[in-house]
Amino acid sequence: MLTLFTEKWLQEIFEEDGYYGDPASSLIPRDMISSSIMKSKQTGIFCGETIIHELCQFTKMQSWEIIKKDGDSLRLDDQIAVITGFVPDLLKLERILLNLIAFACGIATKTKQYVDLVEPYGVHLLDTRKTLPGYRKLSKYAVRAGGGWNHRFSLSDLIMLKDNHISILGGIKPALAKLSETNRQAYTRTEIEVANLKQALEALAYGPDIIMLDNFTPEEVKEAILRIRGKSLIEVSGGVTLQNITSYAEAKPDFISTGQITQNVQPIDINMKLSL
């Protein structure tokens, strides 16, 4: 059963890569069987157990052994998986599988770099909705493999009032007042984005589950946390980088979120070689 990808999406990406077939692979006997060994060509964090399983299942590989587990460290020339099937099918699978795993490993590797900096302070690192359309489930899977936590998957998962909502509704108080009047979703959390301490204190009167301190300086975060800790969960977001995340984590908010772990990512170099 597919969980990470849909059959329709997989059909589309394989059609994109070979709509009229592969003339080179047609030179190879259709019934020739081989195994393909996947290896890492650089260090990083592995993410791809589910990717390998679902693509091998979809392309009807004869067997596949996944050696690395999600979250494992990768070193140069580490074996990741061994896949056995008909050679033309392996060649069809190769580039698509490598592209997806390289992308996911890149996200997991970047996420782990951030997680290592905030974990000593008991802070959870969150992703955002800043993902390529169609790749959100894959991106968030990779964040988890890197030790991060998922923020909302879609707009429906959280009642989140951001700056544009607040501006259109007339400010923090009118926005939260309207939400209090109309919200009947007992099990859906509420979060509000604030731009300064004054807005954070205004928001507290309405009891939001989470207050996001957006684009605060580290000093402003420390001051705000002193005033609102214990009255709401606190998320820090906006302008967070590898270079400054520690200064935010030192204030010990509940969460720090950043789009850097799914946007500013370098894929990990991985290859597959057939053994006859």
Residue 242: closest CA among 264, 221, 271:
264
CATH number for the domain formed by residue range(s) 7-109+265-275: 3.90.1170.20
pLDDT of 21 reads 80
Per-residue pLDDT of 90-110, as tens digits, reads: 999 999 999 999 999 999 999
Q: So what's the pLDDT on residue 1?
A: 64
CA atoms within 13 A on the CB side of 120: 9
For residue 34, count CB atoms less than 10 angstroms from its CB and return exposed for 0-12, middle for 13-18, buried for 19 or more.
middle
Q: Which residues of the chain have pLDDT under 70?
A: 1, 19
Q: What residues have CB less than 8 Å from 147, skipping those under 6 apart? A: 71, 111, 112, 115, 119, 125
Q: Which of 39, 28, 23 is nearest to 85 (CA)?
A: 28
Please give the CATH architecture assigned to the domain spanning 115-263.
Alpha-Beta Barrel (3.20)
pLDDT tens per residue, range 8-52: 999 999 999 986 788 888 888 999 999 999 999 999 999 999 999
Query: CB within 8 A of 229, min separation 6: which ones?
Result: none
Give the residue extent of every domain in the chain: 7-109+265-275, 115-263
- pLDDT at position 182, please? 87
Question: Are the C-beta atoms of 162 and 235 separated by less than 8 Å?
Answer: no
